Amino acid sequence: MNIFAVTAYFAETLPIVFYLIFLKRNRGEGLWVIFLYCVLSLLTEAIFAITRQPVVFSIFIILQFTLFSFFFYSSLKGKRVKYIPIVGALVFYGFAIANFTNKRFDSISTSLSSVLIISYCILLLYEQIRDSTTEFVYYNKKFWVIIAFFIYSSATLFLYIYFSTLSGQQRHSYWIINNFFEILKNILFSVSFIMKKRDKPAYAMDTLDT
């Protein structure tokens, strides 16, 4: 394991630590789902390092997508679009279960998960931008979580698509892409957890301060 991979692994502890430190700020935001995902990701890395069994990641992919789907479902406000994560989950589970016993890296399920997450991110960002109660979307804690998902899933999508066709040396060389965006993702999660809540629009806050 190289230094960059080690850095990526320990970067996964950052959002866990900041969530617990600023626990009061993160209550009622639905961010406990992201905290649970971070803990699950860290445990999966540790278990795989010990067992070296691909089934560990197969289980993680399913649990990960379940948490993501729940986060986006609970975050979407429009009644017409709430069914989208449900339909997406049913499609994903079909592929994930069919490839569950695959002894190699499940590129199909992982890639499908990335495509669906990117779609959910675009949908949720569009909904937040149209929200008239928020003047600046970057004051919203969930905005940084969405951006983290979007960047990470977009950056690693093609890596996952072609991963099963790469040689061992190529996988080792290209996995640095995953490590880099894993670090960035966890930094953005940490930003979200550190931020103070801003329940009122910025212009309303400024008016009260004058």
**pLDDT over threshold 60, residue 116:** yes
This prediction's pTM:
0.84
Give the domain range for residue 146: 3-209
- Cβ burial, residue 190 (10 Å; 0-12/13-18/19+): buried
24, 200 in Cβ contact below 8 A?
A: no
Calculate what percentage of the chain has a pLDDT beyond 70. Answer: 89
- DSSP track, 72-117: HHHH---TTTTHHHHHHHHHHHHHHHHTTT-SS--HHHHHHHHHHH
pLDDT of residue 92: 94
Q: With bands split at pLDDT 50, 70 and 90, how would you rate the model's confidence at 205?
A: very low
Quote the number of domains for the chain.
1
Work out whether the CA dihedral 104, 108, 150, 169 comes out positive or negative. positive
pLDDT of residue 208: 34
* Cα-only R_g, the chain: 18
Q: With bands split at pLDDT 50, 70 and 90, how would you rate the model's confidence at 154?
A: very high
pLDDT of residue 103: 65
CATH code at position 143: 1.20.1070
Average confidence (pLDDT) over 109-118: 92
Q: With bands split at pLDDT 50, 70 and 90, how would you rate the model's confidence at 121?
A: very high
Q: What is the mean pLDDT of the chain?
A: 84
